[in-house]
Structure 1
Amino acid sequence: MKTVYHKADSRGHADHGWLKSYHTFSFANYQNSERSNFGVLRVLNDDTVSQGMGFGTHPHRDMEIISIPLEGDLEHKDSMGTTAVIKKGEIQVMSAGTGIMHSEYNKNKDEAVKFLQIWIFPREVNVEPRYDQIDITKDEKINGFQQILSPDKNDAGVWIHQDAWFNLAKFTKGNGKNYTMHKNGNGVYAFVLKGSAKVGDRILNERDGLGIWDTQSFNIEAAEDTEILLMEVPMELPSYLK
């Protein structure tokens, strides 16, 4: 088993007033040659957007973009004609493919919105752009793994153009479970949303991250009530990036 540990306070940080963002991997003005990506996981941003503020219309292409609200409501508009609001308990995915324009704003005038912005390199380029969002609260699991993303449009959660699986792991104190990789050559980046847990051989606290690969499985044991996002992704970059 190989691992890479990213302590919460080691992340890049940007404070734009209306936007406060922590970057696990190199992004914008935060550039760290040792933290460019974890396999095909390219971006993991922990964003807080002030009341009524947001990201103006901007382009993306050839990237799978996932947003997971943690607090508040995020309004999305895009060039496909989509207008939607995502909130805590939902997950949004956008395949940028051949190109898309979109904006994201805090829907509320009285509270900040907090969300994770995640970018995954797709297995192929120039796919048709698409948008989807679902409610994940109805399938919530305690002391187990809840799949919220996969490569299969007929499976639980949203789907993307990559052999990736995301699970929410919610455990009460003292409970845990063994996680088994879905595919050879994949690794898991575990990101603690709240609480603390032993993941593999490492104790992780809130907003700590741990990448794990070259293993078929690893164990999680919660030191307190804990919620972890597990992002299983291919460790080898697609051929178009080589």
Structure 2
Amino acid sequence: MIEIRHANDRGKANFGWLDSRHTFSFGSYYDEKHMGHSALRVINDDTVVPAAGFGTHGHRDMEIITFVTEGVIEHKDSMGNIQRLPVGEFQLMSAGRGVTHSEYNGSKTDSLKFLQIWIEPNETGGEPGYQQKSFGQAQGLTPVITPTGIDGTLKIRQQASVSQLYLASNTEERVTIAAQRKAYVHVVTGVLQLDGQTLVAGDGAKISQVKQLSLVNQGDDAVVALVFDLP
């Protein structure tokens, strides 16, 4: 089964400094039909005005993924990390027994746009952790987050993985989904044909009881998407 989640149907929150779109229920937005998909709990599409951001706040027992699509994040956390996260880099923060952090737009003139993604861990407590890496833009699927950290991927505390999909114009990728597994596809940029259905930027698709997906870019512009393999 493939259930499309259109960008325009997502939850909305606007605080002046932050304009956010929620794929799943989050904060004051609640929809019992959209509480997540398997261990995937949050995909927030955030835009932050110049010189603004999230003050210091806490998390625990959550795997928090950040992917910047425009601008630079200034990150600081209670583990002692002070980092800049530019376009195209992935950050994975394992909250463990507890961590505090802040995220700010590093520019005084340009907007910041990023995805914040939460995946529920399969173990609670433990030391918090921080990982950050760019994986480039190779054609096809590039694994970026895995349960084992194989081949230089970021290691997540869940039997889940995330891959970056990059499709040049008029190219196709096929994805095999193992038995009893679920998947989710989120389009970042471009127009993607997913098993013949058209998805644009911000659209997503819950996928279950499907063995193989056809992902096609028939347009002139490149497609960037995130593909989640979930328990």
Please indicate the TM-score interval, normalised by the length of the shorter structure.
over 0.9
SS in 1 for 2:74: strand
The answer for the alignment partner of 1:193 in structure 2 is 188
Counterparts of 1:23 and 1:155 in 2: how far apart (Å)? 32
Q: TM-score, normalised by structure 1?
A: 0.91
Matches within 5 A, 1:174-213: 174-181=170-177, 183-213=178-208
1:149 is matched by which residue type in structure 2?
I
Q: Which of 138, 161, 166 lines up with 1:141 in the alignment?
A: 138
Counterparts of 1:97 and 1:74 in 2: how far apart (Å)? 22
Question: Residue 151 in 1 paired to residue 166 in 2?
Answer: no
Question: Post-superposition shift, 1:197?
Answer: 1.8
1:116 is matched by which residue type in structure 2?
L
2:208 is matched by which residue type in structure 1?
W
Q: How many residues align?
A: 229
SS in 2 for 1:155: helix
Counterparts of 1:185 and 1:83 in 2: how far apart (Å)? 40
2:223 is matched by which residue type in structure 1?
T
Question: Residue 21 in 1 paired to residue 17 in 2?
Answer: no
More displaced, 42-51 or 204-213? Answer: 204-213
More displaced, 58-67 or 150-159? Answer: 150-159
More displaced, 154-163 or 36-45? Answer: 154-163
Counterparts of 1:30 and 1:10 in 2: how far apart (Å)? 12
Q: Note the alpha carbon deviations across 1:45-74, whole angstroms, 9 max, x for none.
A: 000111110101111000000000001100
Matches within 5 A, 1:1-242: 2-137=1-136, 140-142=137-139, 144-181=140-177, 183-224=178-219, 225-234=222-231
Q: TM-score, normalised by structure 2?
A: 0.95
Counterparts of 1:159 and 1:202 in 2: how far apart (Å)? 32
Question: Post-superposition shift, 1:186?
Answer: 2.1
Question: Post-superposition shift, 1:172?
Answer: 2.0
Counterparts of 1:201 and 1:188 in 2: how far apart (Å)? 17
Counterparts of 1:212 and 1:154 in 2: how far apart (Å)? 25
The two structures, once aligned, show a CA RMSD in angstroms of 1.2
SS in 2 for 1:212: strand
- Uncovered stretches (5+) of structure 1, i.e. residues with no partner: 235-242
2:186 is matched by which residue type in structure 1?
F
The answer for the alignment partner of 1:237 in structure 2 is none
Counterparts of 1:136 and 1:83 in 2: how far apart (Å)? 21
Counterparts of 1:56 and 1:82 in 2: how far apart (Å)? 15
Counterparts of 2:87 and 2:160 in 1: how far apart (Å)? 22
Counterparts of 2:215 and 2:108 in 1: how far apart (Å)? 39
SS in 2 for 1:9: helix
Identity %: 38
Question: Post-superposition shift, 1:228?
Answer: 1.4
